[in-house]
Amino acid sequence: MEDKITIDFLGKDKKSVYEQLNQQLEALIAPDQDLIASLGNTAALLNEVLRPLWVGFYIVKNEKLVLGPFQGPIACVHIAFGKGVCGKAWETKQPQLVPNVHEFQGHIACSSLSNSEIVVPIFNAAGDVVMVLDIDSENFAQFDEEDQQGLEQLAAIISKYYFN
C-alpha cells in the first residue's frame, strides 16, 4: 500500500465523508490482495476517519462469528448466531443501528465504555452473511441512517472484491 491517506474530512458533511472514504477504500483494497490484509487496512481507514471506540470485523467461521481484524480495545473472540448485536445482524441479515446498547437485549459488552453501535452484514454472492462490520462508540446515538448507507456501500465494495 503506497497510497497515503490524504483525504481532508474536516468540515465535510457525512455523505461526502463516506463517498470519499469508499473511494479511498476502492484504491486501498484489491481482489488479488489477501482478504485479512484488506480487512486490516479497512479497519484502519475507518478508525482514522470515524475515530470510534472500536471498529472491526467478525467473520463467520464454523457456525460462529470469530474476531477478525480490528482497531481498538481487546474484544470478545466468539459470538454465537443471534447473540448480541453482531449475532443479530447475522441472523436477520439486516444492519443493526443501536443508539443505546444498554437497552438492547443480549448486548455483548466487550467494553464497558461502549454506549452505541452499528453493525452491518457483509454478504457473498449467494446472499449468505460471511462477516459483519461492527463499530462501537462511547457516545450515545453516534450513528444514524447516513452512517448505515455509507457503511452498506463499504460492505458492498468488500463483497464485490472478495465474495462475488
Nearer to ligand SME, 8 or 63 (CB): 63
Query: Checking phi first, is residue 88 left (phi over 0); if not, alpha (psi -120 to 50) or beta?
Result: alpha
Task: Give the nearest distance from C-beta 67 to ligand SME in angstroms.
Answer: 8
* Residue from 18, 37, 9, 11 nearest 118 by CA: 18
137 vs 135: CA distance, rounded Å = 7
157 vs 150: CA distance, rounded Å = 11
Nearer to ligand SME, 136 or 147 (CB): 136
Task: Give the nearest distance from C-beta 76 to ligand SME in angstroms.
Answer: 5
Nearer to ligand SME, 24 or 39 (CB): 39
Nearer to ligand SME, 15 or 78 (CB): 78
Contact residues: ligand SME, CB under 6 A: 54, 75-76, 79, 84-86, 107-108, 110, 114, 117, 134, 136
Q: Which residue is nearest to ligand SME (CB)?
A: 84
Q: What torsion, rounded to 10 degrees, do the Cα atoms 146, 152, 156, 157 define?
A: 50
